[in-house]
Amino acid sequence: MNLARHLNKDNLHHAYLIEGDREKVVPEILEFCESLDIKTSGNPDFCHISIDNFKIDEAFDLRSMSTNKAFSSFKKVFVISVNSFSLDAQNVLLKMFEEPIENTHFFLVVPDINTLLKTLVSRFYLIKAAPTLEEVGAPTENVGEKFINMPLQRRIDFIKELLPKKEEESEEEISIESNRSKALKLLNTLESVLHSKMSRMPLDTRIFEHIFKVREFLRMPGSSAKTLMESVALIIPEKL
């Protein structure tokens, strides 16, 4: 995503929020830090946290680490790549990012900023990459359009292929991109396609109400992404 063009070496913002694929974004952040002579290994003032669901305990730990005195007189840097945040954790971070900490910088990498509170997003310098449709798990140019045009059983099969992981897996077994984040990307794509169709034909507004509710449930820890997305497959009429 050519992250360096968004970053000013001479005037670093205290907190960056980057939407994108962590496998692509994090190496760019590490390279940028190295260009500033910030060691990304063996450096007590550099911390990289990679986790699926960021909960309130992790938020308190981050707040504590960020306020600790630096071991050197140089910068402290935190790189945090997360798939989803609990609401309690976000509220802790809201207070934490109200006031910048001198010589302390944060790079928060998420797959979808729509999973975050708007008030939390406003605390960051936002770098938003336009997601490719391949990132929702299917190599096609228009996943949303094709999904809507599928018969119901094919939609259900598509969701099973997209979200194959068992809900009870441990964090160590969860893939780089969680079921929740993949489901949210597909949901956003579907909503965009449906809105464009609405300009040409009448659509039941209950479809959009249901999508809104599903998005809220997807943000809740323990929710079943597969079950929620199957409900979306059911509510969208066939042959739109």
In this structure, are residues 228 and 163 in contact, taking their beta carbons and an 8 Å threshold?
no
Residues in the chain: 240
Same domain (yes/no): 115, 161? no
Domain CATH code at residue 84: 3.40.50.300
Same domain (yes/no): 150, 167? yes
Same domain (yes/no): 19, 78? yes
Q: Which domain holds residue 150?
A: 133-235
Same domain (yes/no): 103, 7? yes
Same domain (yes/no): 140, 51? no
The residue among 95, 113, 128 that closes a domain is 128
Same domain (yes/no): 119, 160? no
Give the predicted TM-score (pTM) of the model.
0.62
Per-residue pLDDT of the chain (240 residues; tens, 9 = 90+): 678 778 888 888 999 999 988 888 999 999 999 998 899 999 999 999 999 889 999 999 999 999 887 787 678 999 999 988 888 999 999 989 988 888 899 999 998 887 788 899 999 999 976 444 444 454 344 788 889 999 999 999 999 988 876 544 444 333 445 788 788 888 888 988 888 887 788 888 899 999 989 988 887 777 889 999 999 999 999 877
Residue 240 lies in a domain: no
Number of compact structural domains in the chain: 2
In this structure, are residues 193 and 144 in contact, taking their beta carbons and an 8 Å threshold?
yes
Same domain (yes/no): 64, 167? no
